Chains A and B, each alone.
Chain A
């Protein structure tokens, strides 16, 4: 279709190699702090890009990603924890069999995290996609809360509010960025395929989509389940990065952060989601100083925890007023554009 297809593919591969090289340098030269931020960025890219698939591309305003991240985190953590650690952690009620005796490799636990999250999405999808618009948002918001409440109360599986501790810190820069690259690649491919086109059709005009033979229900399910799969994997990576998880990590707050990212990036743009995920994660660290006590010479400001969220919220409000399209709108990064800008003529 595109005469520059081969060139673009080579550029993409080269870009990935350069990214991996930069990560290698950061991993060997950078401080623990830098590496930690890079890992966070990768996980947020996974979460944002997959969230964008259902909210931005398919136009279904789901507010449940926290549920899938939670399911993914718990699933993979429970699968990698050794029986001994589980015995130490579960002090109120012992962990149920067979979870109490299982220990699986990290990669298997990540895939399982994705699969379990996807299965949950499939179950949720049946009632959820009988609704549209605002109603869908409320129903998914409800499900997100339900999952958190269940995590809080199933003492013998999730250890309740105590959470899980001592999770091995398996997540390193290669796992995190490896999965980020895979996620972007696969979801990007899906969006560009005719299935992605059908998802966009569902977003623009559901009645017209049905008129061209698209099963709208099924395509919403596909987007929702795929998105949940990657959110589950992201959750698994997150659990093995922070090594301690508890239900409070997965409140609506997490969904809200992801929502800021995809709206700021431009609903429907994978590129936008990636850029915004980077800015958000990095900005969150750079803005840490606003929560510290400040001495401006003439006035002493005490530290205000949560001040960063105020700033992010203000940014979101400003985006909604002045730039509703976000950073990218629905546009995507593409090599043809880059080459034109750089004055390297391709065949057109």
Chain B
């Protein structure tokens, strides 16, 4: 059974149809990409899956249960974590605190237990610190754990955001333009990192990206959106040679 199934997903903002009749089935451990020109509705799809928008129509099922229209924090708890297109770290918290906070939704201590530091909370706090430290090591940020998150260079902030998402214990990771603003070397490192994380954490990855070299290399399957409509899907090779995709990106070929 597919991990995530999306059927007939439609999002209308007033008269504007941002996403129209979008279908998707993600199998466990896949890396699937969502591409398309600017304004095609890619982030809208993410926002619906992650619970930021309630779809106008359609169904989203994660591990067999319907999650369409549920609140974002519930969906995160259910096992879908996301990163943002424009990095959204907690600016006045340190690097390690940014990751620790991802564990907060999973602790069993009540606020009283945490305030009075009952033994359960002490154990859980220790777990949070150790878990966060492990994740930072995984993404190569252990040496800057105590620094302020905003003092990090751009590429590291992206990695930190991924570590924070992983701290919530997801099965499905939604990455919104993870390679944006990175140079070729950083992109290559990111690619290796995502492949490694998928293996270590048994993840399924669904990502939006404009860097075609990156997308073609990492994704096993691609979906292409244009004006909210799916215009193509298939392996990277198929997509590269699909005339409709080329048309959407480059404009219609004028025939003499």
Contact = CB atoms under 8 A, between A and B. Distances in A.
A186 B50 CA distance: 35
Contacts of B82: 211
Contacts of B76: 210-213
The SS class assigned to the A binding surface is: helix
Interface string A294-330: 0000000000000000000000000000000000001
B165 A211 contact: yes
Given A201-B101, A205-B90, A212-B105, A1 B50 contact: no
Interface string A170-214: 000000000000000010011001110110110011011111111
Contacts of A200: 90, 92-93
Interface residues of B, number: 41
Contacts of A211: 50, 72, 76, 81-84, 88, 165
Interface in A131-160: none
B89 interface: yes
Nearest to A194: B104
Given A1-B129, A204-B90, A194 B72 contact: no
A193 B93 contact: no
B93 A201 contact: yes
Contacts of B93: 197, 200-201, 204
B111 A208 contact: no
A165 to B, nearest CB: 37
A205 B90 CA distance: 7
B84 to A, nearest CB: 7
Contacts of B106: 213
Contacts of B83: 211
Classify chain A: how many residues form its interface, as a range: 20 to 34
Given A207-B52, A211-B81, A212-B167, A197 B104 contact: yes
Interface string B200-235: 000000000000000000000000000000000000
A215 interface: yes
B88 A198 contact: no
B73 A193 contact: no
Contacts of A209: 73, 90
Interface stretch (B112-120, B134-142, B180-188, B238-246): B112-120
Interface string B157-187: 0000000110110000000000000000000
A193 B91 contact: no
B12 interface: no
Given A194-B100, A195-B114, A201-B93, A213 B105 contact: yes
Question: Which residue, A1, A208, A214, A226, has most C-beta atoms of chain B within 10 A?
Answer: A208
Nearest to B174: A211
A212 B52 contact: no
Nearest to A330: B92
A216 interface: yes
23 contacts: A186-B115, A193-B114, A193-B117, A193-B121, A194-B104, A194-B125, A194-B128, A197-B101, A200-B93, A205-B90, A207-B52, A208-B84, A209-B73, A210-B52, A210-B73, A210-B76, A211-B50, A211-B76, A212-B165, A213-B73, A213-B76, A214-B105, A215-B73
Given A212-B101, A215-B105, 16 more contacts: A189-B116, A189-B117, A190-B111, A194-B100, A198-B101, A198-B104, A200-B92, A204-B91, A204-B93, A207-B72, A208-B88, A208-B90, A210-B76, A213-B77, A215-B71, A330-B92
Interface of B: 50-52, 71-73, 76-77, 81-84, 88-93, 97, 100-107, 111, 114-117, 121, 124-125, 128-129, 164-165, 167-168
Interface of A: 1, 186, 189-190, 193-195, 197-198, 200-201, 204-205, 207-216, 222, 226, 330
> Which 4 A/B pairs are nearest by Cβ-Cβ distance?
A213-B105, A193-B114, A213-B76, A210-B72
